[in-house]
Amino acid sequence: MKTSAALLFLVSLASAAPMTPSPAAEAAAVLEGRQIQTLCDQYGYWSGNGYYVNNNMWGKDSGSGSQCTYIDSSSANHVSWRSTWQWSGGQNNVKSYPYSGRTIQRGRTIASINSMPSVVQWNYNNGNIRANVAYDLFTSTDPNRDNTHGDYELMVWLGRYGDVQPIGSQIGNANVGGRNWQLWSGLNNGMRVYSFVTTQGAITYFNADIKQFFTYLQQSQGFPASQQYLTTFQFGTEPFTGGQTTFQVNSFGANVQ
């Protein structure tokens, strides 16, 4: 709920002062004919081949800025997209979570899922920002609950830029999938949020079984895996402030087995 790589910029030669184009202008001037779709509306949405992408500027009113998201390609195995944004004000408020998600079959508890393999490759073209890069998964006792809330939220932070931090406080450290993580826990409007935060810098290529994180929570925090249904499986970035920058997802693929 809370989550852009190199674009070619056109420079106007009509005046002595260079101009930085807006995200929408970049799309029209540089990317025309290449992307599948451009999303600049607050909740601009695209879906295809078992994946979906949302511009998702849910917190835009806490500051000022702009954001557009572009879908470049998709197949049954992955989706490629990018989001260009700039935000100011509301220093400690998340402005958006542009994300890609995997369409999943509802009605499966976490305990009934054998594995949740995912591969993602991403980068930011400007690190002078305050943002995270994270998986975001919701679970609920209601298999048909809408995908904006849940009983539990699992976040896996692959990138952390600036002084941003997860909801709640750090409750320990964990080793999952052969990597070391900080483990944070807190409440967000009654929803228990667990966040695994990389301690080894940005992980721009990640190939892992996300089910391992749920297993860790089941064993160490009493997460009720047999009572919680998976409702979302998403990956994106949560901007706080900074930019203009582009979050590039060269490939995001995921499955539930």
- Residue 173 identity: N
Residue 5 lies in a domain: no
Give the pLDDT score at 34.
56
Domain CATH number, residue 98 = 2.60.120.180
Residues of the domain holding 33: 23-254
Residue 10 lies in a domain: no
Structurally, the chain folds into a number of domains equal to 1
| Tens of pLDDT, residues 102-111 | 999 999 999 9
Residue 170 lies in a domain: yes
Q: Residue 89: left (phi > 0), alpha (psi -120 to 50), or beta?
A: left
Residue 15 lies in a domain: no
**Which residues are known catalytic residues?**
153, 238
Residue 12 lies in a domain: no
| Tens of pLDDT, residues 117-162 | 999 999 999 989 999 999 999 999 999 999 889 999 999 999 999 9
Residue 17 lies in a domain: no
Q: Is the pLDDT of residue 11 over 70?
A: no
Of all residues in the chain, what percent carry a pLDDT higher than 70? 87
Q: Is the pLDDT of residue 1 over 80?
A: no
- For the whole model, what pTM was predicted? 0.87
Give the pLDDT score at 95.
99
**Average pLDDT of 33-53?**
92
Residue 104 lies in a domain: yes
Residue 3 lies in a domain: no
Q: Is the pLDDT of residue 45 over 60?
A: yes
Q: Is the pLDDT of residue 197 over 80?
A: yes
Give the pLDDT score at 35.
76
Give the pLDDT score at 36.
92
